[in-house]
């Protein structure tokens, strides 16, 4: 019996139809990656599956009484709870059972009836079966795996950043071990070591899951199947991502061949009808018309958009761009030992280090967004920064992408702004709808477009690939390689930064590689 059956799912947002009578199922033990270009409806699918949204048509049928776990970023919690207390709440039912058991043991001093003894035995058996007495060890294991332990298990939830809370809520979800996990970009806010730990955990997960991710190596590590959303349909493939995409390409080529053959047949019939519509062959031509009308025409999807863009560059005369001596960075206290940096014009630098070490803080310190705690920072004159912040934040969320890009470069006309946005895959009605209604990937593309229309000579990018589809990541990599200026980049995606940066600065150990 399937855990989940989706039948004839149809759903539309504004003028865009995401699914048209789409079907798929989820079975016991299936580890499915959910893939597709930005804006096709991957995150929306998870919202529909957990009834946060309702389908326009069709059915979503879950097996009764099944435990479904998902990350809810809007979960309310007591800010005074420590991280350890919050994670322990994953076992609230077991702690309650222990409380009842202790009361029963106390009751046995005066009541040794079979009902009391049997109930105590049942609860004791339950706690042992659920490995209650090793809960602390399990909590510590997962906290270490996701890098939460470095935050301090006694730290209060209210003191955590958004990214840190994301990790703690993910840890609680993994501790609960639901029968089905629904995860949307779970590697956000994780560094490479913790992504690898999560991949191992999920690959060995006893339950089923659906995971939305654009990280190919991560999907290849965890998935035994792929749900690919494309052209309003959901197609399930067996095997990891690379195998699924190979099969998808073979199907596309086969359909293209059938389409081409049918088009030749249609053209042949239409030519005959045009030449012989009247005269001695008119009767035969009418027969060809009937034959033409009976053809079940193959519909073929348009070719995928190929992204190609560049970042505008303003020349910089100075050879040395940034020099720091005994740099202390942080908010109230220094996060790291003193940093000494030396970055030259045109260098491509990747900044590495475990999550929470201060990579984002370093970038904000370099551009002057937060003040230095100590040390000296010398930057070249005439630097024109281009900064990509990790967070998807818009001061005016009702603004359209055209308005946002136009504000980044006030010399642009609406027509030119739309042209630039189209290069990033934000075209048509998407360019003029409120930006907060776009998918995370589409919003990221708008942010990158804003950088592309500015004249810069130093690009500072904090996790720019989060939410981006595969094709867009490749285009971004090529644009950064071709950019004549300096690039300072933070990314947890090993594949994205492989092979092209001139140097990797690991600030967690102050080593230059």
What string of DSSP letters covers 349-396?
EEEE--TTSSHHHHHHHHTTSS--SEEEEEE-TT--EEEE-SS---SS
Length of the chain: 513
In the chain, where the domains are located: 1-67+178-239, 84-166, 244-293, 320-512
Does the pLDDT of residue 92 top 50, yes or no? yes
- Do the domains 1-67+178-239 and 320-512 sit in the same CATH topology, yes or no? yes
Query: Distance between CA atoms of 468 and 443, rounded to whole angstroms?
Result: 10
Q: Measuring CA to CA, how many Å separate 219 from each of 32, 214, 417, 496, 504?
A: 9, 8, 35, 15, 25
Q: What is the pLDDT of residue 144?
A: 92
- Mind listing the pLDDT tens digit for each residue in 20-73? 999 999 999 999 999 988 888 998 999 999 999 999 999 999 999 999 999 876
| Nearest one of 494, 459, 463 to 480, comparing CA atoms | 459
Range name among 170-174, 314-318, 356-360 with the lowest pLDDT average: 356-360
Query: Distance between CA atoms of 55 and 10, rounded to whole angstroms?
Result: 6
- Mind listing the pLDDT tens digit for each residue in 235-253? 999 988 888 988 988 888 8
Q: What is the pTM of this model?
A: 0.74
Range name among 107-111, 195-199, 202-206, 383-387 with the lowest pLDDT average: 107-111
Q: What is the pLDDT of residue 5?
A: 95
Q: What is the DSSP string of 248-283?
A: HHHHHHHHHHHHHHHHHHHHHHHHHHHHSSSSTTHH
Residue 490 · residue 504 · CB < 8 Å: no
How many other CB atoms sit within 10 Å of the CB of residue 258? Answer: 12
| Nearest one of 449, 442, 502, 481 to 214, comparing CA atoms | 442
* Helix, strand, coil abundance in the chain, percent, nearest 5: 40, 20, 40
Q: What is the pLDDT of residue 354?
A: 66
Does the pLDDT of residue 147 top 60, yes or no? yes
Does the pLDDT of residue 511 top 60, yes or no? no
Q: What is the pLDDT of residue 356?
A: 62
Residue 149's φ and ψ, nearest 5 degrees, are -60, -30
Q: Tell me: domain 320-512, CATH 3.40.50.300, correct?
A: yes
Max CA-CA distance within the chain?
111
Query: Distance between CA atoms of 285 and 278, rounded to whole angstroms?
Result: 8
Residue 500 · residue 349 · CB < 8 Å: no
For residue 104, give both structure tokens: 């029963």
Residue 216 · residue 172 · CB < 8 Å: no
Q: What is the pLDDT of residue 334?
A: 72
Residue 213's φ and ψ, nearest 5 degrees, are -160, 150
Q: Which class does domain 1-67+178-239 fall in?
A: alpha beta
The three-class DSSP label of residue 62 is: strand
For residues 382, 388, 391, 393, the Cα torsion angle rounded to the nearest 10 degrees is: 70
Query: Distance between CA atoms of 268 and 244, rounded to whole angstroms?
Result: 36
Q: Measuring CA to CA, how many Å separate 285 from each of 271, 275, 294?
A: 10, 9, 14
Q: What is the pLDDT of residue 476?
A: 95
- The dihedral region occupied by 91, where left means phi > 0, alpha psi between -120 and 50, and beta the remainder, is alpha
- Mind listing the pLDDT tens digit for each residue in 265-286? 999 888 888 888 777 677 888 8
Q: What is the pLDDT of residue 302?
A: 60
Q: Which helix (H) or strand (E) holds 236?
A: strand 233-238
The three-class DSSP label of residue 412 is: coil
Distance of CA 298 to the CA centre of its chain: 34
The dihedral through the CA atoms of 14, 16, 18, 21 has a sign that is positive
Confidence of residue 510 (pLDDT cuts 50, 70, 90): very low
Of these ranges, 276-285, 366-375, 408-417, the one predicted with the greatest mean pLDDT is: 408-417
The three-class DSSP label of residue 113 is: coil
Query: Distance between CA atoms of 366 and 488, rounded to whole angstroms?
Result: 10
Q: What is the pLDDT of residue 78?
A: 85
Q: What is the pLDDT of residue 513?
A: 36
The three-class DSSP label of residue 129 is: helix
User: What DSSP state is assigned to residue 313?
Assistant: B
Residue 321's φ and ψ, nearest 5 degrees, are -95, -50
Does the pLDDT of residue 400 top 60, yes or no? yes
Q: What is the pLDDT of residue 15?
A: 74
């Amino acid at each position: 019996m399937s855990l989940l059956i989706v039948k004839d799912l149809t759903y539309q947002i504004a003028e865009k139809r995401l699914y048209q009578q789409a079907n798929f199922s989820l079975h016991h033990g299936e580890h499915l990656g959910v893939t597709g270009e930005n804006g096709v409806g991957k995150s929306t699918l998870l919202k529909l599956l957990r009834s946060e949204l309702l389908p326009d048509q069709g059915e979503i049928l879950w097996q009764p009484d099944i435990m479904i776990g998902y990350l809810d970023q809007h979960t309310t919690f007591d800010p005074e709870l420590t991280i350890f207390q919050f994670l322990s709440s994953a076992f609230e039912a077991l702690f309650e059972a222990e409380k009842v058991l202790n009361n029963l043991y106390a009751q046995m001093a005066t009541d040794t009836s079979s009902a009391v003894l049997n109930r105590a035995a049942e609860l004791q058996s339950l706690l042992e079966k659920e490995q209650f007495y090793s809960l602390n060890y399990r909590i510590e294991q997962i906290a270490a795996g996701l890098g939460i332990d470095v935050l301090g298990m006694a730290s209060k939830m209210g003191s955590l950043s958004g990214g840190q809370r994301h990790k703690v809520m993910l840890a609680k979800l993994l501790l609960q071990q639901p029968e089905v996990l629904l995860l949307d970009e779970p590697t956000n806010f994780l560094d490479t070591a913790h992504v690898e730990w999560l991949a191992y955990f999920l690959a060995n997960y006893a339950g089923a899951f659906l995971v939305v991710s654009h990280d190919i190596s991560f999907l290849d590590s965890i998935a035994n199947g792929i749900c690919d959303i494309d052209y309003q349909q959901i197609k399930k493939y067996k095997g990891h991502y690379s195998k699924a995409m190979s099969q998808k390409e073979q199907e596309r080529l086969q359909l293209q061949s059938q389409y081409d053959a049918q088009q030749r047949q249609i053209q042949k019939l239409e030519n005959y009808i045009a030449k012989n519509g009247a005269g001695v062959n008119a009767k035969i031509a009418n027969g060809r018309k009937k034959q033409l009308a009976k053809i079940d025409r193959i519909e073929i999807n348009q070719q995928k958009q190929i992204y190609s863009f560049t970042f505008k560059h303003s020349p910089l005369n100075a050879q040395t761009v940034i020099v720091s001596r005994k740099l202390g960075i942080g908010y109230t206290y220094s996060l790291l030992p003193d940093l000494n940096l030396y970055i030259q014009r045109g260098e491509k630098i990747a900044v590495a280090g475990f999550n929470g070490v201060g990579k984002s803080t370093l970038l904000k310190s370099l551009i002057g967004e937060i003040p230095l705690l100590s040390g000296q920072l010398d930057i070249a004159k005439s630097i024109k920064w281009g900064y990509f912040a990790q967070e998807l934040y818009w001061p005016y969320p009702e603004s359209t992408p055209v308005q946002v890009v136009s504000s980044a470069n006030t010399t642009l006309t609406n027509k030119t702004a739309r042209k630039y946005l189209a290069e990033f895959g934000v075209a048509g009605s998407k360019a003029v709808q409120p930006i907060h209604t776009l998918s995370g990937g589409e919003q990221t593309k708008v942010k990158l477009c804003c950088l592309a229309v500015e004249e810069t000579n130093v690009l500072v990018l904090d996790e720019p690939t989060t939410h981006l589809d595969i094709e867009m990541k490749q285009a971004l990599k090529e644009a950064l390689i071709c950019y004549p200026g300096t690039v300072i980049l933070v990314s947890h995606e090993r594949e994205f930064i492989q092979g092209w940066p001139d140097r990797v600065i690991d600030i967690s150990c102050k080593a230059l590689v």
